[in-house]
A and B are shown apart, each in its own frame.
Chain A
């Protein structure tokens, strides 16, 4: 698989997991006492954090303001140079 495809595939997995987390988040806003949904949310959120860490180590920060990490091997600031969502 080409490097760009690998990156897009990892990003796609993050998008899928984050969508699940968002959907559960909105559901839990109006069903705060549903233990099954809460457990599902916690599990999804942990999996999502792991994938994001993996992505950021390879491709640079997903999040701004210090919530994301510069790529592990980068010597310069990678936030501004990596492609924006509308350029992908």
Chain B
């Protein structure tokens, strides 16, 4: 069960229309290391976790990722909603426009639609938590590259917030993994 809250986790402001930047940031909406992938990965893995701490961490971080999915969608929407067709063409987004107009659709920066093939739920809790730590680092790196590409300070501010969350999540997954390893080592003693 989820309850929708009619607000963003972090306020989103943009300086103006910027379809070029939107076409890059959209990768954190529907790309392989994006927020949708993160959320589905964690929320799917939580069922087969053997410890309370791992289940809670996956559930709660998976939920926060949905809030980030909304933040990224809001960025893309605000950067493109007033773009003219000429501006969209100049930004290299004519192909996207042909399929989606100015709608927000989950694709990578390279235009590949979202696919669950980029995530795993292995059933092996150590393998899953290690994947989650890698996922957080990949998302952090993506936000780094997006910050390098951003020419809008308001957007950069939001990207910095999202990058920081990846660092915190990495830390929490590491703690859940350490605890899980202790739990599994204890289980073998009899």
Cβ–Cβ contact B3 & A67, under 8 A: yes
How many residues of chain B are within 8 Å of chain A by beta carbon?
28
Given A86-B73, A86-B78, residue A30 in contact with residue B57 (CB < 8 A): yes
B residues whose Cβ falls under 8 Å from a Cβ of A: 3-12, 52-53, 56-57, 60-61, 64, 70, 73-74, 77-78, 168-169, 172, 175-176, 179
Contact residue among A30, A67, A68, A84 (Cβ-Cβ distance under 8 Å from B172)? A30
The proximity string for A residues 6-27 relative to B, scoring 1 for CB distances below 8 Å and 0 otherwise, is 0000011011001100110111
Cβ–Cβ contact B6 & A63, under 8 A: yes
Cβ of A62 < 8 Å from any Cβ of B? yes
8 of the cross-chain contacts (CB-CB < 8 Å) are A11-B7, A15-B8, A19-B9, A22-B9, A22-B60, A30-B175, A79-B6, A86-B70
Residues of B within 8 A of A68 (CB): 6
Given A30-B176, A84-B6, residue A25 in contact with residue B74 (CB < 8 A): no
Cβ–Cβ contact A63 & B9, under 8 A: no
Given A25-B60, A26-B60, A27-B172, residue A62 in contact with residue B53 (CB < 8 A): no
